[in-house]
Amino acid sequence: MRGRDRLPALLSGFGAGLAGGLLGVGGGLVLIPMLTGRFRLSQHAAHGTSLAVIGATALSSVVIYGARSSIAWTTALWVAIASAITVPLGVRAARKLSTVALTRVFAIFLLIVAARLLLWKQGAASPVMDAHRIPLELGIGAAVGVLAGFMGVGGGILAVPAFTLLLGMTQRVAQGTSLAVILVTAPVGTIDNARHGQVAWALVPMLAVGAALGGPLASWLAHVLPQTLLTRIFVVFLVVSAFNMWRRSRRGAAPRPTSA
């Protein structure tokens, strides 16, 4: 890594950690646009590098959520088992797309996420019957794994609303449980991407340090502050990032090699 990239990498990781700890996601939604923009990685390499980093966000954040009893560990176990099986499927599907196509798919995905965060009104969901709970958790895990591998994210953007709307969890418990699942999905996806040279390992240490610093801070904030304003700020970031990524894909900007 070049010396001038160290501080930007640390700050990028910190931003990803803040988003991850605050919203119960891995932080890939923040990290991938930075990796393709500031660090000029290809979309495929950005996805692989993101998965290598967001485990640090999850690990540091889970400590805070766990200390506040905001994790449903049994659910996390079943969802993690299923997601570990399906993550490679998402990774393989992503490799079949061109860089331009994958960039545009991810940009559209960011807009969908922004709409979900801004418009989805969470109501009081009734927990499912115990007899159906484990199959439902396995189904959620399978979907989360595919999404994590394909989009280079932890899958929390799907897991958190699924936990609240289908399993009746509170928002904070859903976020903590999602982060516990990411502890499994991120390493599994990283291993698969690394086998195909889609991880910029030189960037990972500083990104991971930043994520490990930002995750606990945001996790603490998630337990003491209302999230409405911060969520809306995050929505604006997603929309701006999506349009910037789409514009770069039209220009066909040359990516930096993954060894950078």
* Token digits of residue 189: 């996806």
Q: Per-residue DSSP letters for 130-153?
A: HHHHHHHHHHHHHHHHHHHHHHTS
Q: pLDDT by residue (tens digit) across 105-154?
A: 878 887 887 887 777 655 444 555 565 788 999 999 999 998 888 877 77
Range of the domain at 95: 3-249
Residue 257 covered by a domain: no
Residue 157 covered by a domain: yes
Give, rounded to a whole angstrom, the gap between the first and last alpha carbons of the chain.
Answer: 6
Residue 260 covered by a domain: no
Question: Could you tell me the CA-to-CA distances from 184 to 58, 113, 255 in Å, in that order?
Answer: 10, 22, 29
d(CA 78, CA 250): 41
Q: pLDDT by residue (tens digit) across 194-233?
A: 988 889 999 999 999 999 999 999 899 888 877 677 667 7
* Token digits of residue 25: 């996601």
Residue 191 covered by a domain: yes
Backbone phi and psi for residue 109, each to the nearest 5 degrees, phi listed first: -60, -40
Number of folded domains that form the chain: 1
pTM comes to 0.78
